[in-house]
Structure 1
Amino acid sequence: MYIKQAYHKNNDLVKYLPIPILFLLIILLNYVALLVLPIDVEEIMRQEVAKKGENRVFVETLAPMVIFLIMLLLWVKFVHKQTITSLTTARRKVDWKRIFFSFGLWGGITAALTGLAYITAPENFEYNFQPKAFAILAVIAIIMVPLQTSFEEYLFRGYLMQGIGIATHSRLVPLIITSTFFGLMHIANPEIGRLGYTLLLYYIGTGFFLGIITLMDEGMELALGFHAANNLISALLVTSDWTAFQTPSLLKDISQPSTGFDILLPLLVIYPILLFIFNKKYGWNGWKNKLTGRIDFTGNDITNTK
């Protein structure tokens, strides 16, 4: 129903292309520039932070995503003639309780895991609390981070999920494509430069998790809450010299970054537990049809038996 509700007989699939192509082209050009040009991203970030301060750099990092969110929502409303509600959910109105539940659940888990890491290995962290800078950060982050994460969710779990679903009459195809591209979108992040391409498994796996909860719940609310909590709590609690977000957070991670089981832990343990919790709370059923079923725009959906 979530994908199906975006369909109408005069759908022009070409209209779905400009914003995704523009955004992905920027990502691609950024990545190619990193490969071809002698650019030290970490050194550039250090210079920018030294010159402008962490909070200003943080704002400048988030601002393009906020602009893209506004562009996307205006494009949907005036070009596709689609309501923002129907882009967000199959329900009659956006379920804010779902957003806040997902936000609180994942925010609590993220804070608990950060606290556990600090308690078990305090030598990996420096106390970084600066009252004035942190207060400014909190205001900036609370306003801008949900807008940044909402753009990514509306683009991948909303706009592209619906557009590709309409084009292919499938749920599985948009789930695979949007999850993969969501992961690859992070390929130019400083974390990839430090930890290697193995980290893309985490980003792609997270994309699949967010796509699954969107399709199962017939709406983006849970994904919106999860993504906002993930970036907001992380920005406020921990920073480091090699991440995309460098902020005057409570703690600074000074450990030597490396890939290990911590990359697989969310994919193999935490995300399945979250799926179990959401399934129990919201009474999900028909997993096979909702994730792999074909979409019949002239009648009832049909289950993929292949």
Structure 2
Amino acid sequence: MFLDQIKKGNRAFVAYLPAVMLIILSYFIGQFILSIVLGGVAMLNGGELTEDVLKSMDFSRMGISNNVGFLIIMSSFLVPFFGLFFAKIFHRRPMLTFVTAREKLDFKRIGFAILIWGIILGGSTLADYFMDPDNYEITFEAKSFIWLFLIALIFFPFQVSFEEIFFRGYLYQLLGNIFKYPVIAWILTSVLFGLMHSANPEVYEYGFWKMMPGYVLLGAFLGLITILDDGLEMAIGIHFINNFFLAVGVNYTGSALKTDSAFQVLTIDPTSQWYGILISGSIFMVVAWLFYRFNGFKKLIQPVRISKTTLTEDSF
């Protein structure tokens, strides 16, 4: 079981506390560098960097192209990503134990998740297009699109891996260590995952209570697949293709990813995305179960069993 990885290395609270604090600090350092770079670039290009511009991430008002702005934002995730590797030193165990219960990273599972979730996304988008074609606008420009494709392909793995390893690796194992039951850690990390995105431009555009359930549901789905499959591989694959499809394929007004995608959706109903995640997530779960035969939902309520010896040596 993935949560059993906490039995390895140093699981004491005095190890988790500085590790998590270091990761959070590295994230805010990345965000600080992001604001400094955006401010400098905006100043050089005669743009503005007001609170309204920052909330909406309107790169045109900053005087820069969407690709340049997207590159700067994605680059900021390099800092917290590498912060994960420094943080794991406190635990004296391999980074792999925060990613999977398997002996090595299963790239086939990542590829499987990318393929299946990509088909689900493509199919649902195509169906929506046929139902309301006037809501889609072609915005494809070859030169800009090529650069966008390369930036997304190179930097999304860092952004996605950071979020997955931190929330469904570090925090999930920390909370599992405290509460012992996977279901509690699963619920809490799903809510925290949602709250992390509360400063996104789409929350500013559409409202907190319309967008937040979607984030929490997505976090819950990714957390559930992690628990059932004993690793982050599928969650990483789903998260990657989800962001990649949004940034490169079909974007929408107010999105956190301000990109020159191939298509733009003119209007969206945030509440409809809740049902979309539930339906798409259910389809993926069925297909994944047919291929990998998960052990069942009992993993959610199976407590972590830690021996008295382990408790004595690594107690909180």
TM-score w.r.t. the length of structure 2 is 0.83
Q: Which stretch of the first structure deviates more once superposed, 113-122 or 218-227?
A: 113-122
* Total equivalences in the alignment: 287
Aligned residue identity for 1:88: V
Q: Residue 148 of structure 1 aligns to which amino acid in structure 2?
A: Q
SS of the residue aligned with 1:126? strand
Deviations 1:244-291 (A, max 9, x none): 101111012222x43343432322x22122112222211112422x11
The 2-side partners of 1:165 and 1:158 are apart by 10
Matched, 1:231 2:243: yes
Q: What do the CA deviations read for 1:18-61 (whole angstroms, capped 9, x no partner)?
A: 1354378789x9xxxxxxxx832478633556612111110111
CA gap of 1:43–1:189, structure 2 versus 1, over 3 A, is: closer
Aligned to 1:22: 25
Query: Among 120, 124, 133, which residue is 2:135 paired with?
Result: 124
Q: What is the alpha-carbon distance in structure 1 between the residues aligned to residue 55 and residue 109 of structure 2?
A: 41
- Residues 206 and 26 (structure 1 numbering): CA distance in 2 closer, same or farther, change over 3 Å? farther
* 1:194 equivalent in structure 2: 205
Decide whether the 8 Å contact of 1:146 with 1:228 is kept in 2: yes
- SS for the counterpart of 2:261 is coil
Structure 2 unmatched runs, 5+:
33-49, 309-316
In structure 1, the partner of 2:304 is 295
- The one-letter amino acid paired with 1:213 is I
User: For residue 218 of structure 2, what is the aligned residue in structure 1?
Assistant: 206
Aligned CA distance change for structure 1 residues 264 and 69 (closer, same or farther; 3 Å): same
Which of 256, 261, 272 lines up with 1:261 in the alignment?
272
Structure 1 counterpart of 2:249, one-letter code:
L
Deviations 1:281-302 (A, max 9, x none): 11112422x1112111129xxx
Q: Deviations over 1:108-129 (max 9, x none)?
A: 2212222333333222122111
- 1:278 counterpart residue number: 288
Structure 2 CA distance, aligned partners of 1:49 and 1:25?
24
Deviations 1:114-151 (A, max 9, x none): 23333332221221111111001111100101211111
- Match in the other structure for 1:83: 94
Is this contact kept in 2: 1:95–1:221, CA < 8 A? yes
Aligned-pair RMSD on alpha carbons?
2.5
Tell me the equivalent position of 2:6: 6
Q: Return the match for 1:59 from 71, 75, 89.
A: 71
Which has the larger displacement, 80-89 or 207-216? Answer: 80-89
Higher mean displacement: 273-282 or 44-53: 44-53
Q: Please list the CA deviations of residues 183-202 of structure 1 after superposition, one character each: whole Å capped at 9, or x if unmatched.
A: 11111111112222122111
How far does residue 176 in structure 1 lie from its aligned partner after superposition?
1.1
For 1:150 and 1:292, the matched residues in 2 are separated by 26
1:151-230 maps to which residues of 2 (within 5 A)? 151-196=162-207, 197-230=209-242
Question: What does residue 255 of structure 2 align with?
Answer: 243
Name the SS for the 2:264 alignment partner: strand
The answer on whether the counterparts of 1:238 and 1:250 sit within 8 Å (CA) in structure 2 is yes
Letter in 2 for 1:100: G
- Asked if the contact 1:110/1:234 (under 8 Å) is kept, the reply is no
- Once the two structures are superposed, residues 46-88 of structure 1 have per-residue CA deviations (whole angstroms, 9 ceiling, x without a partner) of 3556612111110111122222111112321x22222122211
Q: Which amino acid aligns with 1:64?
A: S
After TM superposition, the structure 1 stretch with the greater mean CA deviation from structure 2, 134-143 or 192-201, is: 192-201
| Kept after mapping to 2: 8 A contact 1:55/1:137 | yes
Distance 1:23 1:203, change over 3 A: farther
Match of 1:145 in 2: 156
Q: Any idea what SS the aligned residue of 2:119 has?
A: helix
* Partners of 1:51 and 1:140 in 2: CA distance: 20
Q: Distance in 2 between matches of 1:164 and 1:266?
A: 25
- Shifted more, 9-18 versus 198-207: the winner is 9-18
> What is the CA–CA distance in structure 1 between the aligned matches of 2:272 and 2:10, rounded to whole Å?
48
Asked if 2 retains the 8 angstrom alpha-carbon contact of 1:128 and 1:250, the reply is: yes
Between the aligned residues of both structures, percent identity stands at 33
Residue type at the aligned position of 2:204: G
Would the aligned equivalents of 2:10 and 2:90 in 1 still touch at CA under 8 Å?
Answer: no
Shift of 1:159: 1.1
CA distance in 2, matches of 1:146, 1:59: 13
| TM-aligned CA deviation for residue 234 of structure 1 | 1.2
